[in-house]
């Protein structure tokens, strides 16, 4: 009977030992995530050109005992670094004892460029210094590992093609008159009553639209002295620009001032100066 009890006690000890040993080998999965706070944000072009837009990354898990470095990559969607935006960094750090990274700043460039397509960038968490961290939220379908920053234009999406129109008005100090516009490249041909003078209803003026930057919706208007045509009485006219004109695609306006000359005795005689505001009806 005593032998039986001893065997039973030994068996219990062995089972207990083996059970404890198996417990030591069990790996309890700890799901820790590193993720952006949102999937997308809107960044106002005008505002972020003055005050950069902040973005941070959160650690969801245990308090880190050492710094965690986060490496980012960027995918551009109809946006160009140095033309539409700049980033302060592509590396962020979650310092030990904290749960939020330092800040990534997006600065926009208020370039007066309108776009028919969305301009945005996708910022992705490419890797971290802690390989055990899960990127994004969720194991099966991780999200928030990428954030899309959409640049919100402060100008219209139109181009200078708006001036290629038969419905343009010419506002002068002496009334408003109908004009047509024909755009070829950046040269706009305006035709109609350009000097507020009834006997000369089909004057023609070619001006060059010079955007502030490539694709910009605003800029200057210039032209060289040029013959504008002949009126109904047989007089030939020429225009000479005064100062520098302007155009604004979003408001559909071209403003230009010029001197009016007529041909007399083989030479040009100054008549008067006129300020014109051409606008899309």
pLDDT of residue 173: 95
Between 213 and 246, name the one with better pLDDT.
246
In degrees, rounded to 5, the angle at the alpha carbon of residue 163 between the alpha carbons of residues 253 and 175 is: 50
Q: Residue 19: pLDDT above 80? A: no
From residue 85, alpha-carbon distances to 46, 48, 78, 88, 177 in Å are: 11, 9, 11, 10, 43
Q: Which residues pair with 208 in a beta bridge?
A: 187, 222
Range picked from 11-25, 129-143, 237-251 for highest mean pLDDT: 237-251
Q: Any residues with CB less than 8 A from the CB of 154 and at least 6 apart, and which?
A: 44, 45, 46, 110
What's the CA gap between 158 and 68, in Å, rounded? 45
- Whole-structure pTM value: 0.67
Check residue 133 and report its DSSP letter: S
Q: Which of 257, 189, 265, 256 is nearest to 229 (CA)?
A: 189
Residue 153 has pLDDT above 90, yes or no: no
How large is the average pLDDT for residues 230-234?
A: 96
- Residue 96, SS3? coil
For the chain, which domains are there? 31-152 (2.60.40.2030), 160-280 (2.40.128)
Indicate the DSSP class of residue 10: H
Beta bridge partners of 81: 85
Res. 8: pLDDT tops 60: no
Output the DSSP codes for 217-235: SEEEEE---EEEEE-TTS-
The confidence score (pLDDT) of residue 144 equals 94
Secondary structure (3-state) at 240: strand
| 42 in Cβ contact with 152 (< 8 Å) | yes
| Percent of the chain topping pLDDT 90 | 76
3-state secondary structure of 68: strand
Q: Model confidence at 104, in pLDDT bands (50, 70, 90)?
A: very high
Please tell me the distance from the alpha carbon of residue 178 to that of residue 180, in angstroms, as a whole number: 7
CA distance linking residue 208 with residue 211, whole number of Å: 10
pLDDT grade, residue 30 (50/70/90)?
low
Q: How confident is the model at residue 14 (pLDDT cuts 50, 70, 90)?
A: very low
C-alpha pair distances (Å), 126 with each of 34, 60, 95, 144: 11, 17, 18, 12
Closest C-alpha among 92, 94, 87, 44 to residue 64: 94
Tally helices (H) and strands (E) across the chain: 2, 20
| Alpha-carbon gap, residue 211 to 186, rounded angstroms | 9
Token pair recorded at residue 156: 């219209």
Percent of the chain's residues with pLDDT above 70: 89
Of 35, 27, 29, 28, whose CA–CA distance to 138 is shortest? 35
- Distance, in Å, from the CA atom of 190 to the CA atom of 204, rounded to the nearest integer, reads 6
């Amino acid at each position: 009977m005593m032998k039986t009890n001893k065997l039973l006690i030994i068996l219990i000890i062995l089972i207990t030992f083996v059970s404890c040993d198996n417990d030591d080998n069990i790996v309890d999965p700890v799901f820790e995530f590193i993720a952006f706070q949102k999937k997308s944000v809107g960044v106002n072009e005008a505002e972020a050109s003055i005050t950069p837009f902040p973005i941070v990354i959160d650690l969801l898990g245990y308090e880190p005992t050492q710094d965690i470095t986060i490496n980012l990559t960027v995918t551009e969607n109809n946006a160009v670094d140095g033309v539409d935006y700049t980033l302060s960094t592509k590396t962020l750090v979650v310092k030990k004892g904290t749960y939020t990274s330092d800040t990534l700043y997006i600065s926009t460039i208020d370039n007066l460029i309108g776009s028919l397509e969305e301009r945005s960038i996708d910022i992705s968490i490419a890797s971290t210094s802690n390989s055990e961290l899960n990127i994004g939220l969720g194991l099966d379908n991780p999200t928030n590992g990428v954030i899309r920053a959409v640049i919100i234009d402060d100008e219209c999406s139109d181009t200078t093609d708006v001036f290629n129109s038969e419905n343009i008005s010419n506002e002068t100090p002496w009334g408003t008159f109908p004009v047509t516009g024909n755009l070829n490249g950046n040269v706009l041909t305006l035709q109609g009553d350009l000097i507020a003078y009834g006997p000369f209803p089909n004057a023609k003026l070619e001006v060059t639209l010079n955007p502030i930057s490539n694709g910009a919706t605003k800029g200057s208007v210039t032209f060289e002295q040029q013959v504008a045509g002949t009126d109904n009485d047989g007089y030939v006219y020429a225009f000479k620009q005064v100062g520098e004109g302007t155009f604004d695609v979003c408001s559909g306006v071209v403003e230009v001032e010029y001197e009016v000359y007529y041909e007399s005795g083989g030479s040009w005689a100054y008549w008067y100066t006129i300020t014109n505001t051409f606008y899309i009806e």
